[in-house]
Amino acid sequence: MASERMSGMTLRMDIEVGSSTAEEGELGSILSCVGAVTRRCGGGCRWLGILCGVLDGAGGYAATRGAYVSKATLGDIMHISRPAPDIAELTDVIAIPGLGFLPVNAYVVYAREPVLIDTGLRASSPDFLDELWSLVEPDDLRWVYLTHPDHTGSIFEILATARDALLVTSLSGLGLLSLEHRVPRERVFVLNPGERLDVGDRRLMAFRPPLRDNPATTGLIDELTGACFGSDCFGAPMTSGDLVQSEDVAAVPDDERVAGERLWTAADTPRPADMDRDAYLSGLAWLRDVDPSVVLGGHLTPAHFRVEAVFDTLADARDAPSHMGPDELGFRRTLAGMEPTRI
């Protein structure tokens, strides 16, 4: 069984937001650096938008904390944990200038027919695959569940190695994935919201999370254990990598969790204030009524003990300030503060 491990490739970013400008000759390497950050997500994620939000989007967050995160480390840090006896969690981390450390999670559910939920970050693919195959034998993996088509980091390598595994996603997710990839139809199982996937000893029910950055997003409820896999509905950057690796979000100071959740909502959900209030609250109430035994988000530390508090914060999500990145000058100033360093 793999445990915590840290690889050698690290990119250090010393950030002095708004305090310096890029020399012409430096801009190419800086943009390469940002490209590396943005490419870490498999497809159409909003990381660039998050990065651009350092100057204005982080303002409320920083004010809550009292200071910007002045130094951040972007490393291929893969943390393995067991949020439940039959679940392994693979957590990668993205350090976002000015915001903090964002967990990027995938899960192995040890059902009679083992299931992988989401497939990590593209740039961490070798580490992710090493850890994944230490957790489950490729010949045993039966299902690869994609919550939405930007959590696709290692998806095709996994399907190539686990020859008996089927890709499970919603029809709209399959459609979006097919726009950029050739998806072998004989390897696909379509599961739409409200439908259930029988994995031998339990059924997993697909649902549409009340918050999402993609119209195809679905989550899963494990009907045997009550675990809720909520995709991007649940996320919060943290002020340290150690907090990302906490066993439970209850270990995170409450003001930091609330600020992180609100920032994540503003950054990841397109225009939350435009959502229909009644429809949103009714979707959230449905999820509360499920009464999950544990909430396992795409970008949140596991929540066993503070589930109600996490939901309470989400209830105010429509009021999160809308997220608008800086202008061209602000963007370049942000980039100029990033110093790629290989150690």
Binding site residues, Fe ion, CB under 5 A: 232, 298
Min. distance of Cβ 130 from Fe ion in angstroms? 22
Record the tokens describing residue 266, joined without a space. Answer: 């503003």
Min. distance of Cβ 178 from Fe ion in angstroms? 20
Q: Which residue has the tokens 């109600």?
A: 308
- Torsional class of 49: left (φ above 0), alpha (ψ -120 to 50), beta (otherwise): alpha
DSSP one-letter code for 139: T
Query: Which residue, 127 or 232, has its beta carbon nearer to Fe ion?
Result: 232
Measured distance CA(259)–CA(256) in Å, rounded: 5
Query: Which residue, 238 or 336, has its beta carbon nearer to Fe ion?
Result: 238
Q: Which residues of 203-216 are buried (b: 16+ CB within 10 A; e: fewer)?
A: bbbbbbbbbbbbeb
Query: Which residue, 111 or 236, has its beta carbon nearer to Fe ion?
Result: 236
Min. distance of Cβ 298 from Fe ion in angstroms? 5
Min. distance of Cβ 64 from Fe ion in angstroms? 23
Strands 203-207 and 294-299: unpaired
Query: Which residue, 89 or 232, has its beta carbon nearer to Fe ion?
Result: 232
Min. distance of Cβ 53 from Fe ion in angstroms? 15
Min. distance of Cβ 46 from Fe ion in angstroms? 8
Query: Which residue, 143 or 234, has its beta carbon nearer to Fe ion?
Result: 234
Task: Name the residue number minimizing CB distance to Fe ion.
Answer: 232
Cβ neighbour number for residue 280 with a 10 Å cutoff: 17
Strands 143-145 and 166-169: parallel
First to last CA, the chain: 28
Nearest CA-CA partner of 234 in 317, 144, 142: 317
Query: Which residue, 22 or 124, has its beta carbon nearer to Fe ion?
Result: 124
